[in-house]
């Protein structure tokens, strides 16, 4: 049995494990996402085995790199992101009910001194979430927005202890290189103000932090329902950051202009319902009012990242420009 299989057996209590399809490789070949079957575990099994997905990263050898990584911000961000993902599955994921389904954690392990991680999750394909999409229709978009609304409702007011204090992979504080690379101008000058406005919002929840279409798993059986994966950048935040980024991941500029109002209304309808279901005493009109006002700030914040990371990116278009401009004008007036 190879080392990975031994680790999986040790942490999950399985008698044996059979590795299957490699879904993708991670972090310059230091990791892999792979299907596997666990044998001899007392869990909901399909036949005599439990189908799982393993997210495995081992940078312990790479860490011997003499150049050192202590000062490498992108390296540190990634290391932290895997710790955060493991923590999310261990301490938060159980709160996610059917309306914001996530994989169930079977076992997780961290190699000492940030050397690597093994996360063993139930395979969502066997729960009916076996479709992945590049192109989405209205029903798919609604299913994802409904997932986001329920996720935000579930964690409304959560302190995000041991997750990112500010969620999303583009958060300003973690992206100094991209900020430095931006050309001078109003967006660069206002980057800190935009970030502050979002962080100082009264209503905060947990944001997924990378809620693009590729991180949702769709179900043919129930097209109104999706599950989500990839919690490396989950942390405290205003839900609009997920909504704006999700819209940027699947709508053209024309469609975003056309559908913005109806999609926001759909999202807030789901959020209201999800909070009521949880007997939340939150002042919903005040929450909706604040978050609607922050929707353009969430776009501007993401555009700030894109402008430094990939200035010609297709997501920087007339829709995102116009929204960003509207935010910058507000700062100029004040």
Ligand X SMILES: Nc1ncnc2c1ncn2[C@@H]1O[C@H](COP(=O)(O)OP(=O)(O)O)[C@@H](O)[C@H]1O
Measured from the CB atom, is 229 or 240 closer to ligand X? 229
The tokens of 84 are what?
A: 């955060």
Per CB under 6 A, does 214 bind ligand X?
yes
Measured from the CB atom, is 262 or 310 closer to ligand X? 310
CA distance readout (Å), 158 to 58, 114, 115, 204, 274 = 31, 26, 29, 8, 16
Which of ligand X, Mg ion, none does residue 298 bind (CB under 5 to 8 Å by kind)?
Answer: none
Closest by CA to 319, choosing from 308, 306, 334, 331, is 306
Tell me the three state secondary structure of residue 23: strand
Out of 49, 154, 215, 219, the only residue in the binding site for ligand X (CB under 6 A) is: 215
Per CB under 5 A, does 168 bind Mg ion?
no
251-290 mask for ligand X (x: CB under 6 A)? ----------------------------------------
Per CB under 6 A, does 132 bind ligand X?
yes
Out of 124, 160, 247, 251, the only residue in the binding site for ligand X (CB under 6 A) is: 124
Beta bridge partners of 122: 52
CA distance readout (Å), 36 to 49, 87, 117, 125, 255 = 9, 22, 16, 12, 40
> Up-side HSE of residue 239: CA atoms within 13 Å toward CB?
27
Measured from the CB atom, is 111 or 214 closer to ligand X? 214
CB of 143 to ligand X, least distance (A): 15
The answer to whether residues 92 and 154 touch, using CB atoms and an 8 Å cutoff, is no
Tell me the three state secondary structure of residue 49: strand
Out of 9, 17, 121, 256, the only residue in the binding site for ligand X (CB under 6 A) is: 121
Which of ligand X, Mg ion, none does residue 125 bind (CB under 5 to 8 Å by kind)?
Answer: ligand X
Per CB under 6 A, does 44 bind ligand X?
no
Residues between 220 and 249 that touch Mg ion (CB under 5 A): 230
Per CB under 5 A, does 215 bind Mg ion?
yes
Position closest to Mg ion via CB? 230
Out of 37, 58, 99, 123, the only residue in the binding site for ligand X (CB under 6 A) is: 123
Out of 37, 140, 178, 230, the only residue in the binding site for ligand X (CB under 6 A) is: 230
Residue 175: what are its φ and ψ, rounded to 5°? -130, 50
The answer to whether residues 211 and 246 touch, using CB atoms and an 8 Å cutoff, is yes
CA distance readout (Å), 256 to 62, 87, 210, 319 = 43, 34, 19, 7
Per CB under 5 A, residues contacting Mg ion are: 215, 230
User: Where along the sequence are the contacts to ligand X (CB under 6 A)?
Assistant: 23-24, 26, 33, 53, 55, 103, 121, 123-125, 132, 214-215, 217, 229-230, 232
């Amino acid at each position: 049995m190879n080392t990975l299989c031994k680790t999986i057996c040790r942490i999950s209590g399985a008698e044996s494990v059979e590795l299957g399809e490699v879904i993708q490789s991670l972090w310059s070949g230091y990791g892999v996402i792979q299907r596997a079957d666990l044998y001899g575990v007392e869990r909901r099994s399909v036949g005599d085995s439990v189908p799982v997905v393993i997210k495995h990263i081992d940078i312990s050898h790479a860490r011997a790199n003499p150049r050192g990584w202590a000062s490498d911000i992108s390296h540190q961000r990634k290391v932290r992101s895997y710790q955060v993902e493991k923590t999310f599955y261990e301490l938060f994921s159980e709160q996610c009910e059917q309306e914001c389904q996530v994989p169930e954690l079977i076992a997780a392990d961290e190699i000492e001194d940030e050397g690597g991680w093994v996360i063993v999750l139930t395979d969502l394909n066997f729960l009916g979430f076996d479709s992945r999409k590049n192109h989405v229709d209205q029903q798919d978009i609604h299913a994802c927005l409904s997932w986001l609304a329920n996720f935000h409702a579930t964690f409304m007011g959560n302190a995000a202890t041991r997750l990112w204090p500010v969620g999303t992979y583009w958060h300003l504080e973690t992206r100094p290189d991209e900020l430095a690379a931006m050309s001078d101008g109003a967006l660069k000058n206002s980057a800190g103000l935009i970030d502050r406005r979002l962080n100082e919002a009264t209503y905060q929840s947990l944001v997924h932090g990378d809620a693009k279409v590729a991180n949702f798993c769709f179900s043919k059986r129930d097209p109104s329902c999706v599950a989500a994966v990839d919690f490396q950048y989950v942390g405290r935040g205003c839900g609009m950051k997920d909504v704006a980024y999700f819209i940027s991941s699947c709508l053209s500029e024309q469609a975003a202009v056309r559908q913005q109002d109806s999609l926001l209304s759909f999202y807030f309808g789901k959020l209201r319902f999800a909070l009521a279901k949880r007997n939340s005493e939150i002042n919903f009109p005040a929450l909706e009012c604040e978050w609607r006002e922050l929707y353009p700030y969430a776009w501007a914040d993401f555009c700030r990242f894109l402008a430094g990371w990939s200035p010609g990116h297709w997501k920087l278009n007339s829709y995102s420009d116009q929204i960003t401009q509207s935010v910058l004008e507000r700062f100029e007036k004040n």
